[in-house]
Structure 1
């Protein structure tokens, strides 16, 4: 996930793939067995927090996750293209549980790593995730905070806060969007990003998504320019 030289397989992936958003649900919590799932997502390019990660080339993200009651864990791998790096891998663990009718609290850890990072460039990063979401019935909204004390080779602490919302507009169509703000110890690293898009379920396990993404991070150049990204996700 680089933003320094920077990383999200975007919108559609955002929830499905980056499986770290949600994990357990109330129904799973009532069982005493491990539930497994996997997903494969392809996108026209890989964007993370509004910033290009695959040099404008298509990207593929494969993930596997498991839940046991309210606990969840998962791992994923995707292609990137920056600083001579081709492959990123991610791990996540957490606990998600309802705290009120329609409201879910989620706490977890996410680790980003790189298989072929240049010697001496320690980009591996761990973030603490705190999230709260509410389902209003056909419309949902949430807020997520990500916190780290060593942000991708900067040796600086950082925080990221994002608010998101989605609404079901028909049986197969969902409109969703989010606004996030990345903060580093140095104000020079602060920026805001946003996206809005539509997803269509074309089969029980296949979702297509198209999304507009932009940021105010002019200092990052073309990597943070506005763009439209299309993706598809298959769940197993």
Structure 2
């Protein structure tokens, strides 16, 4: 997913980065691009989506000079229930206002077409950025799961920074909090948690981008998202390339 890599609204931070595009018109008012990636573990806001296994991911994006963009992104997943893949569809507007303040607003729909139960949900999101710093919010506005996790009313808040380093390296830092609407209910139990991520990436030009990533989620083993996601530091590596 091109626009939302920092806030991790879809995939792992660098696995979904698109670094190039194909102009659609001679005036370059719009462009199409694509991206592919491989990660040793697919994390979504500090929670594994593949039971600690690897994932192959990719997507396509359309971007207009007006700031409008739309795209689709997919990855294999494993929830130990037969669900095999995720498909994200999104659209939004991004740009810059006065004094160098950037913005990104839009909607993303998370679909799991072969899940045994309907677990799709959709979020609106907004992000503000200035130089290397950014902050944002993703809010679930529609969901097929009325009384569990990823229900309407869930919110993910985050702040972070992206720092360029010498030799085409970069460092990303993200601190987030996932506030579940049904946290503490009898059917769910403790669910809300804080999340921290550190991502070190190397731009290797035509070879793509490589990354070393660390994830921590403050989740106890007895929590709703516990066991495989219990609070110890997770490490994963990734590769991505844009076209």
TM-score w.r.t. structure 1 length? 0.83
* Cα displacement (A) at 1:230: 0.2
Give 1:102 shift. 2.4
Number of residue pairs matched by the alignment: 211
Q: Does 2:238 correspond to 1:231?
A: yes
Match of 2:56 among 51, 55, 60: 60
Take 1:128 and 1:107, find their aligned partners in 2: how far apart are those partners?
8
Alignment of 1:140-179 (within 5 A): 140-151=132-143, 153=145, 154=148, 155-179=151-175
Of residues 181, 201, 204, the one that matches 2:203 is 201
**Structure 1: where are the runs of 5+ without partners?**
1-6, 20-30
Please provide the CA RMSD for this pair: 2.0
With over 3 angstroms needed to count, the CA separation of the structure-2 counterparts of 1:180 and 1:35, relative to structure 1, is same
Report runs of 4+ in structure 1 exceeding 6 Å deviation. none
Which of residues 218, 222, 234 in structure 1 aligns to 2:227?
222
CA distance in 1, matches of 2:58, 2:105: 23
Task: Identify the match of residue 111 of structure 1 among 109, 112, 136.
Answer: 109
Higher normalized strand content (fraction of residues): 1
- How far apart, in 2, do the equivalents of 1:156 and 1:89 lie? 19
Residues 6-17 of structure 1 correspond to what in structure 2 (within 5 A)? 9-13=11-15, 16=17
**Any conservation in 2 of the 1:66–1:72 contact (CA below 8 Å)?**
yes
Contact 2:11 2:43 in 1 (8 A): yes
Q: Deviations over 1:114-158 (max 9, x none)?
A: 12011xx221111001111112xxxx1101200113456234411
Q: Where does residue 74 of structure 1 map in the other structure?
A: 71
